[in-house]
Amino acid sequence: MATATARANLALVKYWGKRDATLNLPAAGSLSLTLDRLRTRTSVELHDGPNDELLIDGQPQSGKALSRISRFADLVRGPLGRSERIRVVSHNEFPTAAGLASSASAFAALAVAVPAAFEVELSDKARSILARRGSGSAARSIFGGFVRMNAGAHADGSDAYAEPLAADCPMHAVIAVAQAEAKKIGSTDGMEHTRATSPYHAAWLQLVERDLGEVQVALQSGDWDHLALLVEGNCLAMHADAMAARPGVLYFRPPTLLAIEAVRSLRQSGTPVFFTIDAGPHVVAFTPPSEVSRIAAHFAQLPGLAEVLTSGPGAAAQLEITP
C-alpha cells in the first residue's frame, strides 16, 4: 500500500482554457500558491478483484468519480502492462462539497500514490505531468509554495508541467467559503464552453502571458500594491471571459460580491490584501501573516458564508514512508 498527502493550491494567475482536451494541455501558463490547510491524504492498494474502488471520506463512490480514477490509473497500468485493480481511500481535510480546489490535491496525491503502489519511482516532473492528466491545477500541487505551470508547446504534453518558483513573499490565505449548492458547471466544462464561444478568449490568453511575467516580478519585490492590481485583474478577466461565453458562465453569488467589497475596503484603509476567485462562489484573500486574523474576523461578519478558513503556504506532495 502507498499513502500520499497533497495540498490544494490557489492560482494568482489563472488557468482557464485548454490547447488539447484529451491530454489536458493548458493553452497558457499559470501561477499558484500551495496551501497547507487544504490537504488530502490518499492510500492506494492493489487488489485482484474485478473493479477499481474509491472511498472518499468513508463514502464508496461510483459512476463518474470512479471512472475518472480508473482512467487515471490506466495511465500508470497501461505502459507497465499491469492489470491489477486499485482500491483508493481518500480523506479530505476540508469541505469537498464546497468545491474548494479538491481536484488539485486529489490528483496530486494520486500522482504520487498510484505509481508508488505499482512500485514505480517518478521524478517530480513526471508526477506533475501525470497529475495534469487528472486535473490541470493538480500539476501545480506536486510542489509547495509558489509554483509556475508551463503551458509547453509539444503536442505530446512532455513540456506541460509545473515547477516551484523561488519567491519568499510571506503570503497567507483567508478563504470566505460561501454557502452554496454543489458547483453547477465544473471547470473543464466551463473552460471548454468559454474557449468555444467567448469573444474575449484570445485576449484573455494574451493577458495571461503578460501577467505571468509581471506577477513573478512583483512577488520577488514583495510589491503588494502591484500584486493586488495584477491578481485581482487576472481573476476578474478570467471571469469576464467566462461571463462573455454564450450562454454566459457566472460563478459569483451574492456573498462573493460582499467579500470582494470587504477586501477592497480593507485595502483602501491601508491593509495589504487582494482577492482571487476560482470556478465557484468562494473568495480567497491573500495577505501577510500579520493581517490574517483581522481579515478572517471581517469576513466572519458577512452574511451568506458557510465558514472562513485560513491557511499558510503548504509543502509539496509527499509519499508517506510506512515502517
Binding site for ligand PMV (CB under 6 A): 11, 14-16, 30, 103-104, 135-137, 187-188, 278-279
Distance of CA 124 to the CA centre of its chain: 17
Cβ(317)–Cβ(305) under 8 Å? no
Shortest distance, position 280 Cβ to ligand PMV, whole Å: 8
Nearer to ligand PMV, 184 or 294 (CB): 184
State the cell numbers at 128. 506533475
- Annotate 232-243 with b (16+ C-beta within 10 A) or e (fewer): bebbebbbebbb
- Residues 9 and 223: their CA atoms lie apart, in Å, by 21
- Residues 23 and 186: their CA atoms lie apart, in Å, by 18
Nearer to ligand PMV, 179 or 188 (CB): 188
Shortest distance, position 121 Cβ to ligand PMV, whole Å: 25
Shortest distance, position 148 Cβ to ligand PMV, whole Å: 11
Nearer to ligand PMV, 88 or 151 (CB): 151
Which amino acid appears at position 188 of this protein? T
- Residues 43 and 41: their CA atoms lie apart, in Å, by 7
Shortest distance, position 268 Cβ to ligand PMV, whole Å: 27
Shortest distance, position 107 Cβ to ligand PMV, whole Å: 8
Strands (DSSP E) contained in the chain are 2-13, 18-20, 25-26, 30-47, 53-56, 59-60, 85-92, 146-149, 162-164, 172-178, 274-276, 283-287, 305-311, 318-320
Shortest distance, position 14 Cβ to ligand PMV, whole Å: 4
**DSSP code for 313:** B
- Residues 130 and 136: their CA atoms lie apart, in Å, by 10
Nearer to ligand PMV, 86 or 208 (CB): 208
Nearer to ligand PMV, 115 or 136 (CB): 136
- Annotate 86-99 with b (16+ C-beta within 10 A) or e (fewer): bbbbbebebebebb
Nearer to ligand PMV, 53 or 278 (CB): 278
Nearer to ligand PMV, 187 or 311 (CB): 187
Cβ(298)–Cβ(308) under 8 Å? no
Shortest distance, position 26 Cβ to ligand PMV, whole Å: 9
Shortest distance, position 267 Cβ to ligand PMV, whole Å: 22
Q: Which of 223, 205, 207, 227 is nearest to 215 (CA)?
A: 227
- Residues 258 and 143: their CA atoms lie apart, in Å, by 32
